[in-house]
Amino acid sequence: MQKVDYNGLHDIGRELLVAIGEDPDRPGLIDTPRRFADSWKAFIEYDPGKTETTFESVTADQMVVVKGMRVWSLCEHHLLPFWCDVSVGYIAKKKILGLSKFARVAHQHAHKLQVQEQLVHDIATHLQEQLDTIDIAVFARGEHLCMTMRGIKTPSEMISSAMFGKFRSSHSVRSEFLSLVK
């Protein structure tokens, strides 16, 4: 887990207020540098809890899908938030994963500066290693506040996916997964 410089964040929060023409000592803003540092610390040092619990699979070659896991991340280009509803599919070989662990893995990878394409890739490769299968798919649909709040100021959805193994090579497996998550 990455550690933050809490005092540095506090100072940056205060400097940011001054840089945008605010008085950090006025009522309403006195505690803002602390809250700014607290929120960044909580985001970056997020602990998803135990993610590695797997079980022996009683059936093999069956698709498992978990969908609709909402995560928040930060755009590495603008330091603004984006959210994604993440869906995961895999074809069980010898291992299966406890249901809550999928959300924990998704949240673990969301808590850093990145782009959505990297997020889905990181979740997929983490699950490949954990489940000892190449047959993994991750699909994410999200909104990026860097587009909604600034620049073009238009809300939109971004969709990205990472498909490996049968999810990439088999049209029918990919189609089944996508029909289940849409």
pLDDT band of residue 13 (cuts 50, 70, 90) is very high
Mean pLDDT of the chain: 95
What confidence tier does 112 reach under pLDDT thresholds 50, 70, 90?
Answer: very high
Torsion of CA 158, 162, 166, 172, to 10 degrees: 0
The pLDDT, as a whole number, for residue 60 is 73
Q: How far is CA 36 from CA 46, 100, 111, 145, in A?
A: 15, 30, 16, 18
CATH topology of domain 6-44: GTP Cyclohydrolase I; Chain A, domain 1 (1.10.286)
> Which of the four pLDDT bands, split at 50, 70 and 90, describes residue 181?
very high
- Ranges for all domains in the chain classified under CATH 3.30.1130.10: 54-181
CA torsion sign for 176, 179, 180, 181 is positive
Choice between 117 and 155, residue whose per-residue pLDDT is larger:
117
Q: What is this structure's pTM?
A: 0.93
Lowest mean pLDDT among 33-47, 50-64, 136-150, 167-181: 50-64
Rounded to a whole number of angstroms, the distance between the first and last alpha carbons of the chain is: 33
**pLDDT at residue 119 in the model:** 98
Listed in order, the ranges of the chain carrying CATH 1.10.286.10 are: 6-44
pLDDT of residue 35 exceeding 90: yes
Say if domain 54-181 classifies as CATH 3.40.800.10. no
In this prediction, residue 144 carries a pLDDT of 96
Reduced 3-state DSSP string for the chain:
CCCCCHHHHHHHHHHHHHHCCCCCCCCCCCCHHHHHHHHHHHHHCCCCCCCCCEEECCCCCCEEEEEEEEEEEEECCCCCEEEEEEEEEEECCCEEECHHHHHHHHHHHHCCEECHHHHHHHHHHHHHHHHCCCCEEEEEEEEEHHHHCCCCCCCCCEEEEEECCHHHHCHHHHHHHHHHHC
pLDDT confidence of residue 153: 93
